[in-house]
Structure 1
Amino acid sequence: MKRIYKITLLFGLTILVSSCHNNAAPNYQYFPNMYESVGYETYSESDAFNNGKEGQLPVSGTINRGFDVYEYENSTAGYELAKANLKSPLDSLSNNSEEGKALFEIYCISCHGATGNGKGKLVEREKFLGVPSYADRPITEGSVFHVITYGLNAMGSHANQLSAHERWLVTDYVLKLKSEL
């Protein structure tokens, strides 16, 4: 009796397995281009490029998402215009002195020092020379923001590290340090 059950079970499984496979009607294949991709030659021309050599450029006049347009150019004339005309858009509610201090301590203190006297750790160790004190400079909020955005002399641009809002916070903190010197 056990033998009949085993043979029946084996016969049933064989029918079940063989009934699921049909070569005439294969299963659906989702995203077939991922399974059977087109092989490209390494250095062959492609339709993804304009003339087969250079990449496509964005439409003129477009800007990156989240990018704030800064209307002053990176030149001496742009610096002077920013120094004379540029004012902070921060009001008393959005101006956070503690956040400006924290950003200053991250990005500026190593060269400019904790009080803005130009005696940071890198200057003390003579890695950079000639970092000016804020007390010695006729700076305005426009000039500080412009220098943080583009850099000046040995100081590089911090526009990639700090957003425009964060640069304004640092600018406000720098002017606070200047008033205390």
Structure 2
Amino acid sequence: MRTIFKIAAVLGVSVLTTSCFNKERPNYQFFPNMYQAVSYETYSEVPAFKNGKEGQLPAEHSVPRGFEVYEFANTPEGLAEAKLNSKSPLTELERNDPKGKELYTIYCSVCHGDKGDGKGNLVKREKFLGVPSYADRELTEGGIYHVVTYGLNSMGSHANQMTQQERWIVADYVLKLKSEL
């Protein structure tokens, strides 16, 4: 008697599984977007954005958290004004931060050298020429910060690589290197 029930159960399960078979749609797809992704043409309108063409923009006149506006322009006059009027907001503890040497080594010593003598690896290999020594320049913390922020001549801007506080820390470290030359 038990074997009849077992045979009936197996036949019942096989009938149920084959009865749902459809030759025109042979497979069922759970999560069909994983198999057939919705494709978009490059630079085409996308329904995810309000106007269909460009991404969402930040609110007008908004400022990122922690950002302080730098009021000096990227001009020679702005550099001269920054040399005279821009002062570091760092505290005494932040001025003696060992992070200054670390940041200088990462971003500046390749060209300016570990001592600020203008003899970094790229200058030694003659990739860049005319990198000045800090001893030859009249430097102020505001002027250094301005140049690190905007760049000058062959030196590019480091505003995207370092935060505002890190740029002030590097400016302070450059002044320490100048005093040692």
Which bin holds the TM-score, normalised by the shorter protein?
0.7 to 0.9
Corresponding residue number in structure 2 for 1:131:
131
* Shift, 1:110, TM fit: 1.3
* Shift, 1:11, TM fit: 6.7
Give yes or no for the alignment of 1:175 onto 2:181: no
Q: Give the aligned residue type for 2:121.
A: K
* Shift, 1:62, TM fit: 2.1
Q: Secondary structure at the match of 1:122?
A: helix
- Structure 1 residues 166 and 15, CA gap change in structure 2 (3 angstroms): same
Q: Give the aligned residue type for 1:100.
A: G
Cα deviations across residues 87-143 of structure 1 (Å, max 9, x unaligned)?
111111223442101111111111111111111121122111111111111110000
Structure 2 residue runs without a partner (length 5+) = 18-30
Q: Secondary structure at the match of 2:95?
A: coil
- Structure 1 residues 36 and 136, CA gap change in structure 2 (3 angstroms): closer
Does structure 2 conserve the Cα–Cα contact (< 8 Å) formed by 1:97 and 1:172? Answer: no
* Shift, 1:156, TM fit: 0.6
- Structure 1 residues 99 and 57, CA gap change in structure 2 (3 angstroms): closer
Instruction: Give the % identical residues.
Output: 61
Corresponding residue number in structure 2 for 1:115:
115
Corresponding residue number in structure 2 for 1:165:
165
Corresponding residue number in structure 1 for 2:3:
3
Count of residues in correspondence between the two structures:
170
- Structure 1 residues 49 and 3, CA gap change in structure 2 (3 angstroms): closer
Corresponding residue number in structure 2 for 1:105:
105
Rounded Cα–Cα distance in structure 2 between residues aligned with 1:34 and 1:66: 40
Does structure 2 conserve the Cα–Cα contact (< 8 Å) formed by 1:116 and 1:178? Answer: yes
- Structure 1 residues 34 and 6, CA gap change in structure 2 (3 angstroms): closer
Q: Give the aligned residue type for 2:139.
A: I
Cα deviations across residues 5-50 of structure 1 (Å, max 9, x unaligned)?
3145447757998xxxxxxxxxxxxx99999998877776566465
Q: How does 1:50-69 map to 2 (within 5 A)?
A: 50=51, 57-69=57-69
Corresponding residue number in structure 2 for 1:85:
85
Rounded Cα–Cα distance in structure 1 between residues aligned with 2:112 and 2:40: 54
Rounded Cα–Cα distance in structure 2 between residues aligned with 1:115 and 1:78: 28
Cα-Cα RMSD: 3.5
Q: How does 1:23-34 map to 2 (within 5 A)?
A: none
Does structure 1 conserve the Cα–Cα contact (< 8 Å) formed by 2:44 and 2:53? Answer: no
Does structure 2 conserve the Cα–Cα contact (< 8 Å) formed by 1:83 and 1:143? Answer: yes
TM-score by length of 1: 0.74
* Shift, 1:175, TM fit: 0.3
Corresponding residue number in structure 2 for 1:25:
none
Structure 1 residue runs without a partner (length 5+) = 18-30
